[in-house]
């Protein structure tokens, strides 16, 4: 057995540079999401491995693409764009979803054009020259996707101001001419742009090019109010509609692969009219008992320089005891299952627990009795992360969770519903009913059906027993 501190389980954020990333990368559970053209919308909670999945696609499968368009937003604000767009929609009577869908479609395809022709600078065909000239004329070469979106909304706003000034001078205050309204509804999808789009699609097909577009960092938005949340949802609805239109078109269905990483709680709150249509393009990142074992196995064998074929059980036994005593219910548990049970089946959660444990016991061999205190401390940190993740969209979320202190982690639905109803009443939360609240808690992974309780013995046992992690590749929640 070796000291746990000899194993590096990080980094917890895949965006952090890591020259050994591929040797620790796990994609088995989600491989079909990566390679299938059909799936353009990928959802996952914070720490579920969205960024790692896309990073693995770029590093491991990048050779399968002619160009990769890597769009990462970081901590940007869409507030100015949304405010402009909603004002434009109100003044022009054009759907704000139509406007933002056009913005996204244009911005994504222009970014693809820019990337392709920057990489192929020596390409001197008429098509290449025409598209380069268009990009230069429109000042698209140096701008980011976010800047492009902002510039588009600003340009339309200028059109409206000019049109209303003219109508005022013609004694028709507040009137926007039909021609301007038609221009607003389709902008920036102009005839000139459509010619570039057609040329670009033909160019990709004729040259056998395949382009990968990835969008990440969309879960870093700062949301302070419910109003801001509804505005951010509109940004995502437009993105989903735009990627759908692009990927089903004859021009780009085979030549463009788009992967948009969207926070699951945002996706679950969408109310698109054609959501059933877009569902065909959607996949959620899933981790299970075995895939999380594989994630840890690869990190252990990398750090300890073990044989690549070393089984998980052997690798695990090198750093931790196989059993840990659970004093709460008076039983011995499998150590891996004990740790996993204190997570929401997210890679980052396991990494955080093990990182805290290795820092707590530097250079020491970890024994069974040393594990529970650290897991308890780590779990408190995970709870803080969880509250921080959802506090902006769930009223008084931290206070709500505190009511569950000391409660069993298995309870029948009737008791759970009554308890949630009482908590909402005690907290004077009246803007959501109990069934909506339970539905929201399920969507964010706070609750889940781990295993149905059929017999009387099962139901009696549910009052005190713990819930073991789901094994054999089954989903943690159904």
The string of pLDDT tens digits covering residues 348-393 is 999 999 999 999 999 999 999 999 999 999 999 998 988 887 876 7
Examine the pLDDT at 421 and tell me if it is beyond 90.
yes
**Cα-only R_g, the chain:** 26
Examine the pLDDT at 425 and tell me if it is beyond 90.
yes
For 239, residues 6+ apart whose C-beta sits below 8 A from its C-beta are: 100, 104, 215, 260, 262
The per-residue pLDDT for range 67-95, each reduced to its tens digit, is: 999 988 876 677 777 777 777 777 777 78
Mean pLDDT of the chain: 82
Examine the pLDDT at 403 and tell me if it is beyond 80.
yes
Residue 344: the pLDDT is 87
Residue 350: the pLDDT is 94
Q: How confident is the model at residue 229 (pLDDT cuts 50, 70, 90)?
A: low
Count of beta carbons in the 10 Å neighbourhood of residue 457: 9
Residue 182: the pLDDT is 75
For 3, residues 6+ apart whose C-beta sits below 8 A from its C-beta are: 319, 361, 362, 363, 364, 365, 366
The mean pLDDT of 224-241, rounded to a whole number, is 76
| Rounded distance between C-alpha atoms, residue 44 and residue 34, angstroms | 14
Return the bridge partners of 259, or none. Answer: 214
Q: How confident is the model at residue 226 (pLDDT cuts 50, 70, 90)?
A: low
| Buried-exposed string 141-179: b where 16+ CB fall within 10 A, e elsewhere | eebebbebbbbbbeebbebbeebbeebeeeeeeeebeee
Query: For the chain, give me the number of helices (H) and strands (E)?
Result: 21, 7
Give the residue with greater pLDDT, 123 vs 25: 25
| Rounded distance between C-alpha atoms, residue 302 and residue 32, angstroms | 26
Closest CA to 14 of 30, 6, 5, 26: 26
The per-residue pLDDT for range 287-306, each reduced to its tens digit, is: 888 999 999 999 999 999 99
Q: Are 44 and 33 in contact (CB under 8 A)?
A: no
Residue 379 vs residues 77, 353, 360, 372: alpha-carbon distances, Å: 31, 7, 14, 10
For 459, residues 6+ apart whose C-beta sits below 8 A from its C-beta are: 412, 453
- For 310, the 3-state DSSP assignment is coil
Find out whether the peptide bond into 11 is cis, omega within 30 degrees of 0.
yes
| Rounded distance between C-alpha atoms, residue 349 and residue 54, angstroms | 19
For 366, the token pair is 């970890």
The mean pLDDT of 416-430, rounded to a whole number, is 91
The mean pLDDT of 128-148, rounded to a whole number, is 89
- For 214, the 3-state DSSP assignment is strand
Q: Are 43 and 267 in contact (CB under 8 A)?
A: yes
Q: How confident is the model at residue 11 (pLDDT cuts 50, 70, 90)?
A: confident
The per-residue pLDDT for range 430-478, each reduced to its tens digit, is: 878 888 888 888 877 788 765 555 555 444 444 444 444 544 443 433 3
Q: How confident is the model at residue 175 (pLDDT cuts 50, 70, 90)?
A: low
Examine the pLDDT at 330 and tell me if it is beyond 70.
yes
Q: What are phi and psi of 284, to 5 degrees?
A: -105, 135
For 38, the token pair is 């059909």
For 143, the token pair is 């701008």
- Name which of 164-178, 300-314, 399-413 the model is least confident about: 164-178
Residue 348: the pLDDT is 92
Count of beta carbons in the 10 Å neighbourhood of residue 353: 23
Residue 473: the pLDDT is 42
Residue 457: the pLDDT is 47
pTM as predicted? 0.80
- For 436, the 3-state DSSP assignment is helix
């Amino acid at each position: 057995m070796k000291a746990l501190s000899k194993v590096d389980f990080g980094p917890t954020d895949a965006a952090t540079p890591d020259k050994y990333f591929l040797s620790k990368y796990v994609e088995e559970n989600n491989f079909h999401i990566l390679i299938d053209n059909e799936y353009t919308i990928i959802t996952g909670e914070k720490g579920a491995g969205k960024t790692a999945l896309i990073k693995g696609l770029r590093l491991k499968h990048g050779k399968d693409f002619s160009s990769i368009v890597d769009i990462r937003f970081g901590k940007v604000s869409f507030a100015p764009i949304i405010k402009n767009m909603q004002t434009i929609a109100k003044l022009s009577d054009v759907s704000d979803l139509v406007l933002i869908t056009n913005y996204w479609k244009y911005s994504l395809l222009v970014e693809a054009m820019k990337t392709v022709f920057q990489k192929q600078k020596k390409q001197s065909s008429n098509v290449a020259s025409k598209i380069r000239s268009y990009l230069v004329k429109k000042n698209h070469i140096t701008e980011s996707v976010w800047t492009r979106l902002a510039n588009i909304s600003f340009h339309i706003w200028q059109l409206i101001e000019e049109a209303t000034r003219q109508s005022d001078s013609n004694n028709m205050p507040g009137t926007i001419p039909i021609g301007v309204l038609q221009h607003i509804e389709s902008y920036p999808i102009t005839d000139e742009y459509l010619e570039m789009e057609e040329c670009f699609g033909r160019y990709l097909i004729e040259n056998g090019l395949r382009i990968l577009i990835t969008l990440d960092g969309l879960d870093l938005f700062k949301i302070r109010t419910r109003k801001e949340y509804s505005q951010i949802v509109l940004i995502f609805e437009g993105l989903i509609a735009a990627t759908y239109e692009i990927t089903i078109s004859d021009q780009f269905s085979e030549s463009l692969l788009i992967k948009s990483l969207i926070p699951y709680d945002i996706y679950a709150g969408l109310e698109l009219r054609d959501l059933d249509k877009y569902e065909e393009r959607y996949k959620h990142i899933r981790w299970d008992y075995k895939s999380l074992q594989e994630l840890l196995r690869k990190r252990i064998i990398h750090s300890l320089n073990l044989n690549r074929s070393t089984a998980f059980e052997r690798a695990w036994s090198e750093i931790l005891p196989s059993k840990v005593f659970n004093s709460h219910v008076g039983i011995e548990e499998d150590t891996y299952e004990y740790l996993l049970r204190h997570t929401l089946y997210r890679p980052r959660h396991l990494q955080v627990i093990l990182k805290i444990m290795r820092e707590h016991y530097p250079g020491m061999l970890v024994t069974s009795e040393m594990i529970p205190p650290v897991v308890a401390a780590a779990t408190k940190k995970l709870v803080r992360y969880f509250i921080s993740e959802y506090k902006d969209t769930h009223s008084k979320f931290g206070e709500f969770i505190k009511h569950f202190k000391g409660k069993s982690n298995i309870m029948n639905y009737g008791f759970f519903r009554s308890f949630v109803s009482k908590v909402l009443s005690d907290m004077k939360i009246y803007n959501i009913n109990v069934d909506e609240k339970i539905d929201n808690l399920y969507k964010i992974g706070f609750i889940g059906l781990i295993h149905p309780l059929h017999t009387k013995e099962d139901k009696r046992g549910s009052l005190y027993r713990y819930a073991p992690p789901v094994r054999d590749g089954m989903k943690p929640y159904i």
